[in-house]
Structure 1
Amino acid sequence: MNLIDTHCHLYSEEFRDDIEQVIARAQDYGVRKFYLPSIDSGSIADMFFLEAKYPGVCIPMMGLHPCYVKENYKTELAVVEEWLVKRKFPAIGEIGLDKYWDTTFLSQQTEAFTTQMQWALDYNLPIVIHTRNAMQETIDLVRPFAARGLRGIFHCFSGNAADAKQITGMGFLLGIGGVITYKNGGLAEALSDTGLEHLVLETDAPYLSPVPFRGKRNESAYLEYIAKKLAEVKNTTLEEVAAQTTANAQKIFGS
C-alpha cells in the first residue's frame, strides 16, 4: 500500500510527546508522505523541524491560514513571501476564507487569499484551500485564477454535488478526510458523480478524526479508515483508491 496524507498538522502540540510513534504507525500502514500546511509564522519553525527530522517524508507548505488573518496580516504575508523567495515549497497553503469562527477580518481574509493566489501563479505552485461557511464565495474568488492556470486542492471538502462539479470543473482536486465516515456528513452523496481522478486523501490531523475515533485526536494512520470508506462509496477496491489518490497527489505536488 502506498498512501499520501496530503494535509496534516503533525507539528501541532498535540503530537509533541509521541510524534515518532504517530509517524511510525502511519508508515506501518503504508503512508509514505505527510504534507504539512502552514497556518502562520508561528508554525514555521515546528514544520521545518519535522522536515529536517524526516526529510522527504514530512513536507512543509507555506501560507497564511484565514483564521490567522488579524491586525498584523500584512506582516504575516510578508513572512510568507520572504520564504517563497528563499526556497521551494510544493504548494501555498493553507489559504482561503473562513466565516465560521470570526468575520471581523473578512475583507482582509479576501485580500490575503487573492494575494497568495497571485503568488501561486507567479511561482507556478498549486494552492491548498481552507473554506468554511464560504464555499461559493471561495469558488468565485478562485475561478478567475483557475482560468489563468492555477490549480490546487479544496482541503477537507464537505460541500454538495454542485460544489464538487464546480470545483473539479476548474481543474481542482477535492481533499477527502474523516467527514466521509460520518453517518450524516452527506459527503458520500456529494461525490456520487465525482471520479477518483479528482480526489486526494487527507486526515487534517489532529482534527476531524474518522469513525470510530470521532471526538479523539486524529492521526495519519487513520487514513486507513478514510481510504476504506472511500472505496466503499465509489464501489471499488482499496488498492484502486490508494493507487489513484496517490497518483493525484504526486501530480499536484510534483513529487
Structure 2
Amino acid sequence: MIETHAHIYSDDYAEDRQQMLDRAWAAGIKQIWMPNCDHTTIPGMMDLAAQYPGRCLPMIGLHPTYVKEDFENELQIVEEWLGKYKFIAIGEIGMDLFWDKTFQSQQKEAFLFQCALARKHNLWIDIHCRSAFWETVELIEKFADAKLTGIFHCFTGTLDEAQKAIELGFKLGIGGVATFKNGGLDKVIPFVDLEHLVLETDSPYLAPTPFRGKRNEVAHIALVAQRVADLKHMSKEEVIAQTTKTALKLLQ
C-alpha cells in the first residue's frame, strides 16, 4: 500500500514514532508520502526522509491554514528548498475557509504561486480543501493546464464535486472519513471508478472507525482499504493493487 498523506513528523509521535513506523511497515505500507505545513515542519520531515530514503517521501509547500501575514516569506522558503532537493510534490496547499476567512485573499495568492511552482518543477500538487471546494476549482481553472494534476487530499465532497475533481485531472484521497457512519462517502465511492482513488490516513488526524477520536496512525490505512472494498463490492486486495498503481503513476 501507498500512504499518500501522513504527518508522521508530528509531535504526536514523539514518544513512539519508531514503533508507529514499524507497525506501518508490518501492515504492508510500501511508501509514506509526507505533506509539509510551513517552515517549522521541514526539519522533522527531512530527517525522516533521510532516515528512510525511498520509503518516507517528502513534499514541500505552505498549508493554507498556515498562511498568515508573513506568507510571502514562507513561500520564499518553499522556493529555496525546491532548488536544493527533489520533492515528490508541492503540498499540502489549497484553501481552508472552515475556521477563519481572515487570510482568504492571501490563501488564494499562495495557492496560485505554488501551482506555478508545480508547473515550473514538473510536480503534482497535494490539495487541502475545506469549505472551499469551488473556490479552489476556480483557481485551478485559471491555469487551464492539463499538466497540473495531483490529489484532492481528504476528499469528503459530493459526487458532483468528485466528478469535477476527476474532470480536472485529479485523484481523490480517501481516508478515515470513509468509515464514518455519516461521512457521506458511501454516496460517492460506489459511483467513482477505482482508478481515480488513492488511500491516505492524514495521520495523526481523522482516525477511522473504530479508532475515531483517537490518534491516527499509518497502519490504519488497512481499514480505509477495507471500507473502499466493501463500498465497491470487491476484494481488499483489488483495492490495494489499483490504488497503489494509481499513486505510483503520480511519481513518474
Shorter-chain TM-score tier: over 0.9
Task: Specify which of 23, 26, 37 is matched with residue 24 of structure 2.
Answer: 26
TM-score (norm 2): 0.98
Question: SS of the residue aligned with 2:206?
Answer: coil
Partner residue in 1 for 2:125: 127
Partner residue in 2 for 1:92: 90
Contact 1:164 1:191 in 2 (8 A): no
Task: Specify which of 167, 170, 183 is matched with residue 169 of structure 1.
Answer: 167
Partner residue in 2 for 1:207: 205
Partner residue in 1 for 2:33: 35
TM-score (norm 1): 0.97
Question: SS of the residue aligned with 1:62?
Answer: coil
What is the identity percentage for the equivalent residue pairs of Structure 1 and Structure 2? Answer: 51
Q: CA deviation at 1:201?
A: 0.2
Q: CA deviation at 1:192?
A: 2.8
Count of residues in Structure 1 that have an aligned counterpart in Structure 2: 252
Partner residue in 2 for 1:198: 196
Contact 1:5 1:201 in 2 (8 A): yes
Q: CA deviation at 1:175?
A: 0.1
Partner residue in 1 for 2:74: 76
Deviation string 1:86-144 (CA, Å, 9 cap, x unpaired) is 12111000000000121111100000000000110111100000000001111121123
Q: CA deviation at 1:54?
A: 1.3
- Once structures 1 and 2 are overlaid, which stretch shifts more, 214-223 or 145-154? 145-154
Task: Specify which of 138, 141, 144 is matched with residue 139 of structure 2.
Answer: 141
Q: 1:204-243 alignment to 2 at 5 Å?
A: 204-243=202-241
Contact 2:189 2:228 in 1 (8 A): no
Deviation string 1:215-242 (CA, Å, 9 cap, x unpaired) is 0000000001000000001111111100
Equivalent AA in structure 2 for residue 217 of structure 1: R
Q: CA deviation at 1:17?
A: 1.1
For 1:36 and 1:207, the matched residues in 2 are separated by: 13
Contact 1:177 1:203 in 2 (8 A): yes
For 2:194 and 2:97, the matched residues in 1 are separated by: 29
Which ranges of structure 1 fall in alignment gaps of 5 or more residues? none
For 2:44 and 2:148, the matched residues in 1 are separated by: 28
Question: SS of the residue aligned with 2:225?
Answer: helix
Deviation string 1:186-224 (CA, Å, 9 cap, x unpaired) is 112122321110000000000000000000000000001
Q: Does 1:156 align with 2:176?
A: no
* Structure 1 segments of 4+ aligned residues over 2 angstroms from their partners: 143-148
Question: SS of the residue aligned with 2:83?
Answer: helix
Q: Does 1:187 align with 2:185?
A: yes
Equivalent AA in structure 1 for residue 204 of structure 2: P
Q: Does 1:50 align with 2:69?
A: no
Partner residue in 2 for 1:66: 64
